[in-house]
């Protein structure tokens, strides 16, 4: 066992507590990563507030760092490799075999249940179990244990501190545009919600796909200023009802694509009528489990519209994450404009700022 520092969510608490923990050596197929920085994603707060992940637990699933030790059976990684850590998948079900691991048959146990599939955890505090392996990482920590299959190498000239969110938020938004919807050059798209996922979608749509009309929609004016800076051609504040005229003025006949990143079902469903004929609405956020979506059946059918769910941007992580990083380096994916860095000691502030919308993508740096 090795001593590490981690931010622990204890039973009945909302704030995280910085603790010294002990971490196991990597088991078969695992890698021990020294975390350099880790992003905060809305799903961390969903896991904090929902009852699915047992406590005490270390959250965090947008980690990046340096490989410290590889476990038995690991090939392709060695101590000293710079890596981004993405979500976990089994690697052997039919969806994993078709390179869309976001639909892995074991996605929820592997990512949400705070343990390996055999129920074991890799962390302890004074001999008592602390839940680990959240999204195959639990990276609100100086070190974490990850399946080698969740790791993606990061080039020497890429800033490691910025790499973690490519494993979740950035690939979710950009992947919806590039992998799921395959937005063509010249298309029109509305992105609902100007958080990290939405703004990654905006940047990818405008600068990578070459969409002509990219409408960012939010209720916060400040976020829409950032949307314009990363590629929105139009920024609209308000609800679907208020915006109908402005959307139709920006894109006569309706928009070809809508991506909902708000997680607000009642808001998202108001956009189906604003789609052009044969347009697609993609649902990419966390939605309350009891929500149901409603649409006019005849109008959907006769207009050839589609509503699709998208997990993790339909990303095949080993190919898609490096390609997105190359787009960042070429200036086509300016996600550095979304980021604010915090020290580990400020992690609760980083979460609070993310929740009230003061920071778009908070990234927590680990002490050296
Ligand atoms: C989440 C997105 C919402 C559904 C579950 C997985 N991914 C990462 O945060
Ligand atoms: Zn996430």
pLDDT per position as a tens digit, 266-313: 999 999 999 999 999 999 999 999 999 999 999 999 999 999 999 999
Q: Indicate whether 197 and 302 sit together in one domain.
A: yes
Q: Indicate whether 6 and 88 sit together in one domain.
A: yes
Could you say which ligand is closest to the alpha carbon of residue 170?
Answer: 2
* Global confidence as pTM: 0.98
Q: Indicate whether 180 and 122 sit together in one domain.
A: no
Ligand 1: centre distance to CA 1 (Å): 31
pLDDT at res. 51: 87
Q: How far is CA 87 from CA 110, 263, 270, 296, 308, in A?
A: 9, 20, 31, 35, 21
Distance CA 144, CA 136 (A): 9
Residues, the chain: 368
pLDDT at res. 238: 83
- Using an 8 Å Cβ cutoff, are 77 and 152 in contact? no
Tokens standing for residue 268? 């998202």
Ligand 2: centre distance to CA 255 (Å): 27
Instruction: Specify the CATH number for the domain of residue 190.
Output: 3.40.50.720
- Greatest alpha-carbon span in the chain: 64
Distance CA 76, CA 36 (A): 21
Three-state SS letters, the chain = CEEEEEEEECCCCCCCEEEEEEECCCCCCEEEEEEEEEECCHHHHHHHHCCCCCCCECCCCCEEEEEEEECCCCCCCCCCCEEEECCCCCCCCHHHHCCCHHHCCCHHHHHHCCCCCCCCCCEEECCEEEECCHHHCCCCECEEEEEHHHEEECCCCCCHHHCHHHHCHHHHHHHHHHHHCCCCCCCEEEEECCCHHHHHHHHHHHHHHCCCEEEEEECCHHHHHHHHHHCCCEEEECCHHHHHHHHHHHCCCCEEEEEECCCCHHHHHHHHHHEEEEEEEEECCCCCCCCCCCCCHHHHHHHCCEEEECCHHHCCHHHHHHHHHHHHHCCCCCHHHHEEEEEHHHHHHHHHHHHCCCCCEEEEECCC
pLDDT at res. 55: 98
pLDDT at res. 33: 98
121 located within any domain: yes
329 located within any domain: no
Site to substitute for ligand 1 among 42, 43, 268, 317, most atoms within 8 A of C-beta:
43
73 located within any domain: yes
pLDDT by residue, tens only, the chain of 368 residues = 999 999 999 999 999 999 999 999 999 999 999 999 999 999 999 999 998 999 999 999 999 999 999 999 999 999 999 999 999 999 999 999 999 999 999 999 999 999 999 999 999 999 999 999 999 999 999 999 999 999 999 999 999 999 999 999 999 999 999 999 999 999 999 999 999 999 999 999 999 999 999 999 999 999 999 999 999 999 999 876 789 999 999 999 999 999 999 999 999 999 999 999 999 999 999 999 999 999 999 999 999 999 999 999 999 999 999 999 999 999 999 999 999 999 999 999 999 999 999 999 999 999 98
Q: Indicate whether 195 and 78 sit together in one domain.
A: no
Distance CA 192, CA 236 (A): 10
Ligand 1: centre distance to CA 312 (Å): 7
What domain count does the chain have?
A: 2
> What pLDDT digit, counting tens, does each position of 230-260 carry?
999 999 998 767 899 999 999 999 999 999 9
233 located within any domain: yes
Q: Indicate whether 8 and 148 sit together in one domain.
A: yes
First to last CA, the chain: 20
Instruction: Specify the CATH number for the domain of residue 29.
Output: 3.90.180.10
Tokens standing for residue 245? 């005229």
Domain holding 153, by residue range, is 2-167+334-365
Q: Indicate whether 215 and 240 sit together in one domain.
A: yes
| Alpha carbon nearest to ligand 1 atom 5, residue | 286
Q: Indicate whether 136 and 214 sit together in one domain.
A: no
pLDDT at res. 242: 80
Q: Indicate whether 292 and 243 sit together in one domain.
A: yes
Distance CA 52, CA 259 (A): 27
Q: Indicate whether 190 and 284 sit together in one domain.
A: yes
pLDDT at res. 239: 72
pLDDT at res. 186: 98
Burial (CB count <10 Å: 0-12, 13-18, 19+), residue 244? middle
Ligand 2: centre distance to CA 76 (Å): 25
Site to substitute for ligand 1 among 311, 313, 314, 354, most atoms within 8 A of C-beta:
311
328 located within any domain: no
22 located within any domain: yes
Q: Indicate whether 142 and 254 sit together in one domain.
A: no
Tokens standing for residue 318? 């080993």
Distance CA 270, CA 6 (A): 42
Q: Indicate whether 259 and 158 sit together in one domain.
A: no
- CA 44 to mean position of chain CA atoms: 10
Distance CA 325, CA 328 (A): 5
322 located within any domain: no
Q: How far is CA 190 from CA 149, 271, 331, 361, in A?
A: 34, 9, 22, 21
124 C-beta neighbours (distance < 10 Å), count:
15
Could you say which ligand is closest to the alpha carbon of residue 313?
Answer: 1
Q: Indicate whether 241 and 353 sit together in one domain.
A: no
318 located within any domain: no
Beta carbon of 286 within 6 Å of any ligand 1 atom:
yes
């Amino acid at each position: 066992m090795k001593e590490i520092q981690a931010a622990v969510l204890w039973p009945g608490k909302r704030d995280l507590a910085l603790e010294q923990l002990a971490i196991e050596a990597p088991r078969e197929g695992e890698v021990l990563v020294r975390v350099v920085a880790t992003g905060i994603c809305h799903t961390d707060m969903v896991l904090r507030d929902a009852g699915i992940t047992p406590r005490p637990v270390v959250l965090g699933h947008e980690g990046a760092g340096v490989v410290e030790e590889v476990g038995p059976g690991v090939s392709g990684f060695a101590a000293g490799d710079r890596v981004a850590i993405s979500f976990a998948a089994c690697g052997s079900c039919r969806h994993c075999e078709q390179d869309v691991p976001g639909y892995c048959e074991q996605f929820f146990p592997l990512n949400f249940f705070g343990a390996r599939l055999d129920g074991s955890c890799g962390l302890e505090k004074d001999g008592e179990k602390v839940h680990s392996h959240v999204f195959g990482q639990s990276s609100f920590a100086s070190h974490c244990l990850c399946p080698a299959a969740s790791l993606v190498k990061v080039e020497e000239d890429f800033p490691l501190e910025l790499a973690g969110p490519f494993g979740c938020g950035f690939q979710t938004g950009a992947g919806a545009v590039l992998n799921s919807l395959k937005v063509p050059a010249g298309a029109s798209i509305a992105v609902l919600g100007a958080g990290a996922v939405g703004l990654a979608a905006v940047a990818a749509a405008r600068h990578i796909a070459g969409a002509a009309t990219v409408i960012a929609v939010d209720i916060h004016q400040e976020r829409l200023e950032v949307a314009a800076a990363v590629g929105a051609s139009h920024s609209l504040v308000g609800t679907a009802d208020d915006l109908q005229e402005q959307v139709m003025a920006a894109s006569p006949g309706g928009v070809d694509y809508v991506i909902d990143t708000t997680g607000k079902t009642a808001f998202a469903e108001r956009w189906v009528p604003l789609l052009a004929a044969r347009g697609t609405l993609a649902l990419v956020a966390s939605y309350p489990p009891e929500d149901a979506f409603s649409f006019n059946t005849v109008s959907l059918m006769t207009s050839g519209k589609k509503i699709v769910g998208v997990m993790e941007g339909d990303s095949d992580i080993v190919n898609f994450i490096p390609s997105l990083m190359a787009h960042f380096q070429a200036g086509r994916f300016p996600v550095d404009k979304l980021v604010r860095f915090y020290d580990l000691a400020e992690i609760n502030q980083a979460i609070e700022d993310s929740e009230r919308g003061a920071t778009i993508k908070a990234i927590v740096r680990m002490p050296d």
